Amino acid sequence: MPIALIVGGGMAGRAAAVTLRRVGYQGEVVLVGDESTPPYDRPPLSKSVIVGTADLDKVIKQTLETYAEDGIELRLGVAVTAADADAKTATLSDGSEIAWDALVIATGCAPREVPIPGLDKPGVFRITRIDEALAIQEVLASGPKRLAIIGGGFIGMEAAAAAVAHGHTATVIEAAPEPMARPLGLTVAERVLQWATDRGVEVLAGVGVEEVLGDDRASGVKLASGDIIDADLVICAIGQVPRLGLAQLLGCAEEAGGVQVDASMQTSVAGVYAVGDIAAFPSKWADEDRIRIEHAAVAIGHGQTAAEHIATGEGLFEDLPSFWSDQGDITLNMVGVARPDDEIIWRGDQDLPACTAFYLREGKLRAAMSVGDMKTLRGVRKLFAAGVSPTAEQLADPDVDLAALAAAG
Amino acid sequence: MAQVSIGSLSDFPEGTPTFAEADGTRLCIVRVGDKVHAICDDCPHAEASLSEGDFLADDMAVECPLHGSAFNLESGDPDAPPATEAVQVFNVTVDGDTVLVEV
């Protein structure tokens, strides 16, 4: 019986395993993950999990038993230590060996290492794994706390917004002058930042962290400016780097900081697929030959595509990239591939409760970020599907029905 | 399984997702013509109430207001991520003017 081996128990890996069964793959499905928890949804970690409002049964979607019932063998708490592309074998950290017919690498990202002294102190948390998020939850559960959050990306801003909404105080420290400007562009990032500060999140931008203070336990951070931010806990959310070790062991070609794949998610090595954060994939929605996207919806789509291709020999990833960011009571939904220097056209008055920012490049619609307006976003999806790019005036006018424009062609 | 009344037809405006509760089960109800559909109101992906979303007539689906996965009223399947799990679909019968859901 053929064996499909999936390495990585994140969202892309789980999607691959579940989809293999859904499309009727006849072989064995083995998923190897280095965490002890079965695959779980990662987005809630920086939001509902840390503040204790998450339904963990929903976050951790299945148990070992139900995976077994579905014909998926989970090997948890083990890593792949060696692999041979010719023999098609992988050696695990528990000493066992698995032969594969198809291999899906879904190893995701590891937290970025930064040389800030004191990050190893108790009371400093990362937020990339569920055990870490639950450790934060335990601290926050004992009453209002002061959080110092290093890093003003989506994860840091989400954690800050969730904490503030639950009675804590949060200071976000971002070394770059404009938090979230890279994914959202400057003018949109400024609006989102304003909404966060309106809700009580303190943001210090353009200043680095010199060290984490505290004797036995983190008591705050010292900034490069010399200022000291007192804190009961410190969250380090300064980004992540793709985990390429296994792909490199197998000799997979690399591109764009990740593993080069074709539209079926196959790497340069026959029978080896790469999905999720690590995959540099072709997308007709991007200018580049291949892009990497570190967001859940894309990761799930990658896993589904690889599984379909393994099972049926068909399947291409052609999804319009999308992501969301829940920041307290605000949800940003974005579709398309934006660049920081895109021209921004707003629909609505650039404010809550509902508005949309359109991203144009060379006059053409490339992406949209919407808050509280799913109808407009749905219209944008239809425009992309139809290959229709409206004028800036049409985009800005709330009375213009984008879905109708798409239908008219 | 029990047939539970959740109200009369006029309680459910055509094409408008509406919240209802039947023996503690949270439901999103959509009336399309004479037919009434019932799915679980809780998005299987995140903490969202599907009855606060829009009905997409072309797809016979309800769109989650939070992250945009649209759930088919007949199969319960999502059209696209982030949701990957189907919502539960409930049998509905209309007896005269009374809407009964099997929960």
Tokens of A71: 């014909």
Tokens of A118: 């004191």
What is residue A131's predicted lDDT score, i.e. its pLDDT?
97
CA distance A258 to A322: 19
| Radius of gyration, CA atoms only, chain B | 13
The secondary element (H helix, E strand) that includes residue A72 is strand A72-76
Of B47, B63, B84, Cβ closest to residue A48: B47
Strand pairing class (A169-174; A202-205): parallel
Q: H helices within A207-350, ranges in order?
A: 245-249, 296-312
**Interface probe with A: pick from B64, B67, B71, most Cβ of A within 10 Å:** B67
Q: Give the per-residue SS3 of A30-65.
A: EEEECCCCCCECCHHHHCHHHHCCCCHHHHECCCHH
Domains of chain A, earliest start first:
3-109+241-312 (3.50.50.60), 124-238 (3.50.50.60), 342-408 (3.30.390.30)
CA distance B86 to A105: 26
Give per-residue burial for A13-35: e unless 16+ CB within 10 Å, then b: bbbbbbbbeebebebbbbbbbbb
Cis preceding-peptide flag for A2 (omega within 30 of 0): no
CA distance A258 to A289: 13
- Sequential pLDDT tens for chain A (409 residues): 999 999 999 999 999 999 999 999 999 999 999 999 999 999 999 999 999 999 999 999 999 999 999 999 999 999 999 999 999 999 999 999 999 999 999 999 999 999 999 999 999 999 999 999 999 999 999 999 999 999 999 999 999 999 999 999 999 999 999 999 999 999 999 999 999 999 999 999 999 999 999 999 999 999 999 999 999 999 999 999 999 999 999 999 999 999 999 999 999 999 999 999 999 999 999 999 999 999 999 999 999 999 999 999 999 999 999 999 999 999 999 999 999 999 999 998 899 999 999 999 999 999 999 999 999 999 999 999 999 999 999 999 999 999 999 999 8
CA distance A336 to A367: 4
Tokens of A77: 């708490």
Strand pairing class (A258-260; A279-280): parallel
The single-letter DSSP state of residue B86 is P
**Interface probe with B: pick from A66, A374, A382, most Cβ of B within 10 Å:** A374
Residue type, B100: L
Residue ranges per structural domain of chain B: 3-102
What is residue A409's predicted lDDT score, i.e. its pLDDT?
86
CA distance A355 to A347: 6
Identify whether the C-beta of residue A188 lies closer than 8 Å to the C-beta of residue A357: yes
8 Å CB contact of A322 and B68:
yes
8 Å CB contact of B80 and A15:
no
Q: Tell me the three state secondary structure of residue A142.
A: coil
Tokens of A34: 């280095």
Q: Shortest Cα distance from B64 to chain A (angstroms)?
A: 9
What is residue A310's predicted lDDT score, i.e. its pLDDT?
98
Residue type, A377: L
Among A391, A386, A393, smallest CA distance to A407 is for A386
Chain B residue numbers touching A18 (CB-CB < 8 A): 84
Write down the CATH number for the domain with range B3-102: 2.102.10.10
What is residue A348's predicted lDDT score, i.e. its pLDDT?
86
8 Å CB contact of A333 and B46:
no
CA distance A189 to A107: 30
Identify whether the C-beta of residue B53 lies closer than 8 Å to the C-beta of residue B19: no
CA distance A10 to A144: 31
Backbone angles phi, psi at B6, to 5 degrees: -115, 10
Identify whether the C-beta of residue A369 lies closer than 8 Å to the C-beta of residue A406: no
Q: H helices within A316-373, ranges in order?
A: none
Q: What is the pLDDT of residues B47-82, one digit of tens each?
A: 899 999 999 999 999 999 999 999 999 999 999 889
The answer, for B81 touching chain A at a CB cutoff of 8 Å, is yes
Among A211, A237, A206, smallest CA distance to A223 is for A211
Of A58, A326, A375, Cβ closest to residue B54: A375
8 Å CB contact of B63 and A41:
no
Cis preceding-peptide flag for B82 (omega within 30 of 0): yes
Backbone angles phi, psi at A278, to 5 degrees: -80, -15
CA distance A128 to A277: 13
ipTM for the predicted complex: 0.88
Identify whether the C-beta of residue A172 lies closer than 8 Å to the C-beta of residue A156: yes
8 Å CB contact of A41 and B45:
yes
Q: What is the pLDDT of residues B21-49, one digit of tens each?
A: 999 999 999 999 889 999 999 999 988 99
Examine the pLDDT at B1 and tell me if it is beyond 80: no
